[in-house]
Amino acid sequence: MHVLKAAHEPGRVVVTVETDQVLTGCPACGVVAVGHGRREHRRADAPLFGTPVLVVWRKRTWCCPDPGCPVVTFSEVHDLAAARAKLTGRAICWATDALVMDDTTVAALARHLGVDWHTCWDAIETEATIRLADSDRPAGVATLGVDEHI
């Protein structure tokens, strides 16, 4: 992922990024795809020195040249953010970690991310559910205590 531009706007930092991917295959038929331009996708990222960060991902779109293929166009995939996610993966981990370890609220985290409460909670709830499903999570625990916050 390359940073093309970073700008400070009132109340947030805006970072424009794109990948350098120049070759990919169609996910349905595997034929080498043809570039079809880029589309900007906006995602909230983890805050920078307490300032909300908006990532503008110039996401590459591709076209399958095979006329018999059911896929016409598709977008690149990257670990930066899942498809249709409103937060980057890093922002989701940051918010979930903060909710677990710090004395904070979803409202405060949403404010730090520059998103509304529901956007923040939806992302945290999904991540927390995945983490709680890890059966090895309590491994090595000798004593269990209850904190008034966690």
**What are the residues binding Zn ion (CB under 5 A)?**
26, 28-29, 64, 66, 69, 71
CB of 25 to Zn ion, least distance (A): 8
Q: For residue 105, give both structure tokens.
A: 């609220």
* Residue number, 71 or 108, with CB nearest to Zn ion: 71
State the nearest-atom distance from the C-beta of 76 to Zn ion, in Å.
15
In whole angstroms, what is the distance from residue 150 CA to residue 145 CA? Answer: 10
Give the nearer residue to Zn ion in terms of CB position, either 26 or 53.
Answer: 26
* Cβ neighbourhood burial of 33 (10 Å; 0-12, 13-18, 19+): buried
Residue 118: HSE in the Cβ half-sphere, 13 Å Cα cutoff: 0
Q: Shortest approach of Zn ion to residue 61 CB, angstroms?
A: 14
| Least distance to Zn ion, CB of residue 34, Å | 11
Comparing CB distances to Zn ion, the nearer of 50 and 68 is: 68
Which lies closer to Zn ion via its Cβ, residue 31 or residue 93?
31
Question: Which residues neighbour 28 within 8 Å (Cβ) at sequence distance 6 or greater?
Answer: 64, 69, 70, 71
Side-chain-side CA neighbours of residue 12 (13 Å): 17
